Amino acid sequence: MMKQPGQLPPYIQALRSRERWRGAEIAFWLSWVAVYFLFPDSLLFASQILITGLFALSLDLILGYAGIVTLGHTAFFGLGAYTAGLLTTHGVHEPLLGLAAAAAVAALAGWLTSFLVLRGSDLARLMITLGIAMLLLEIANRATGFTGGVDGLQGVEVGALLGLFAFDLYGRVAYCYVLVVSFCLFVLVRALMASPYGLTLRAIRENQRRAVAIGVPIRTRLTNIYTFAALIAGVAGALLTQTTQFVGIDVLGFGRSADVLIILIIGGMASLYGGFLGAVAFLLAKDQLASLDARYWLFWLGLLLIVMTLYLRGGIMEGLRKLAALTRWSRT
Partner 1 sequence: MISFLGILFDGLAYGVLLFLISVGLSVTLGLMGFINLAHGVFAMAGGYLLVTLTGQFGLGLLASLPVIFVLVALGSLVLERVLYRPLYRATPLEQVLLTVGIIFVAVALATWLFGPGQQPLALPPYLDGQLSIGGLDLSRYRLFLIGVGIVITLALVFGLERTRFGARIRASVDRQQTAEAMGIHVGRVFQLTFAIGSGLAGLGGALGVNVIGLDPQFPLKFLVYFLLVVVVGGPGSVSGTLLAALLLGVADIASKYYLPQIGAFVIYAAMILLLITFPHGLLGRRRSS
What backbone phi and psi angles, to 5 degrees, belong to 85?
-70, -45
Consecutive H or E run containing 309: helix 294-310
Nearer to partner 1, 125 or 190 (CB): 125
Q: Does 126 bind partner 1 (CB under 8 A)?
A: yes
CA distance 47 to 29: 14
**15 exposure class (CB count in 10 Å sphere: 0-12, 13-18, 19+):** middle
Kindly indicate which of the ranges 79-87, 145-153, 157-165, 299-307 contains the residues binding partner 1, using the contact rule CB under 8 A. Answer: 299-307
Nearer to partner 1, 121 or 330 (CB): 121
CA distance 58 to 199: 17
Q: From the list 127, 285, 290, 320, which residue makes contact with partner 1 (rule: CB under 8 A)? A: 127
Sketch the per residue contact string, 172 through 211, with partner 1: x for CB under 8 A, - otherwise.
Answer: ----------------------------------------
Nearer to partner 1, 99 or 301 (CB): 301
Selection from 152, 122, 102 nearest residue 253 by Cα = 152
Q: Cβ distance 158 to 98 under 8 Å?
A: yes
Selection from 56, 71, 41 nearest residue 229 by Cα = 56
Q: Interaction with partner 1 in 241-280: which residues (CB under 8 A)?
A: 254, 258, 261-262, 265
Q: From the list 44, 104, 108, 134, which residue makes contact with partner 1 (rule: CB under 8 A)? A: 134
Nearer to partner 1, 142 or 322 (CB): 142
Q: Does 289 bind partner 1 (CB under 8 A)?
A: no
CA distance 166 to 30: 24
Strand, helix or coil for residue 68? coil
Nearer to partner 1, 157 or 206 (CB): 206
What residues make contact with partner 1 under the rule CB under 8 A?
63, 69, 71, 116, 119-124, 126-128, 130-132, 134-135, 138-139, 141-142, 254, 258, 261-262, 265, 295-296, 298-299, 301-306, 308-310, 313
